[in-house]
Amino acid sequence: MPSLPIYSDYPEDSLQRDSLLNKIKWLMIFRIVVVTILLGSGLTIQWNVLQSRPLELLYIFIILSYAFTGLTASFLNQFGNLHLYAYFQFGYDLLFETAMVYITGGVESVFTSTYIFTIIAAGILLFRQGAFIVASLSTMLYGALVGVQFYRIQPLFIPTQPLLFTPVNSSAVYYKVFLNACAFYLVAFLSSYLSESLRKTHQRLWETSYDLTELQAFHHNILQSMHSGVMTTDLHLKLTSYNFAAEQITGYTLSEVYGKPLQDIFPELDVPQKMNPLLRNMKADRLVQRQETAIVTKSGTTVFLGVSVSLFLDNSGNVAGLICIFQDLTELKAMQEHVAQADRLAAIGQLAAGLAHEIRNPLASISGSIQMLNSELTLDIEQASLMDIVLRESKRLDHLLSDFLLYARPQSMSFAESDIMRDVILSTVGLLRQDKRFVEEKCTIHVELPQDFPKIVCDTQQLQQVFWNLCLNALQAMSKGGELRICARSERLDGWKLDARTPLEVAVISVSDTGDGLDEETLHHIFQPFYTTKKQGSGLGLAIAHTIVKNHHGVIRVKSSPQEGTTFEVVLPFVQYYW
**Residue type at position 2:** P
pLDDT of residue 182: 92
Q: Strands 239-242 and 566-573, how do they pair?
A: unpaired
CA angle 288, 294, 295 (to 5 degrees): 105
pLDDT of residue 8: 41
pLDDT of residue 2: 39
Residues 6+ away with beta carbon under 8 Å from 496: none
DSSP 121-132: HHHHHHHHHHHH
Domains of the chain: 11-203 (no CATH), 229-331 (3.30.450.20), 334-408 (1.10.287), 416-573 (3.30.565.10)
Span of 136-140, 263-267, 277-281 with lowest mean pLDDT: 277-281
Question: pLDDT confidence of 189, banded at 50, 70, 90?
Answer: very high
Range 245-256 burial, b when 16+ CB lie within 10 A, else e: bbbebbbbeeee
Half-sphere exposure of 166 (CA within 13 A, CB side): 9
For residue 186, pLDDT over 90 is answered with yes
Higher pLDDT, 114 or 405: 114
Rounded to whole angstroms, what are the CA distances from 282 to 181, 213, 262, 288, 314? 68, 32, 20, 11, 14
Q: Strands 555-560 and 566-573, how do they pair?
A: antiparallel
Model pTM? Answer: 0.45
Span of 257-271, 333-347, 513-527 with lowest mean pLDDT: 333-347
**Residue type at position 333:** K
For residue 157, pLDDT over 60 is answered with no
For residue 273, pLDDT over 90 is answered with no
Q: Over pLDDT 90: what percentage of the chain?
A: 5
- The C-alpha atoms of residue 119 and residue 3 are separated, in whole angstroms, by 28
pLDDT of residue 510: 92
- Residue 37: is it exposed, middle or buried by C-beta count within 10 angstroms (0-12/13-18/19+)? exposed
Span of 336-340, 455-459, 527-531 with lowest mean pLDDT: 527-531
Evaluate the CA torsion angle 433, 438, 444, 449 in order and state its sign: negative
Question: pLDDT confidence of 3, banded at 50, 70, 90?
Answer: very low
DSSP helix/strand/coil, 337: helix
- The C-alpha atoms of residue 174 and residue 102 are separated, in whole angstroms, by 18
Higher pLDDT, 162 or 429: 429
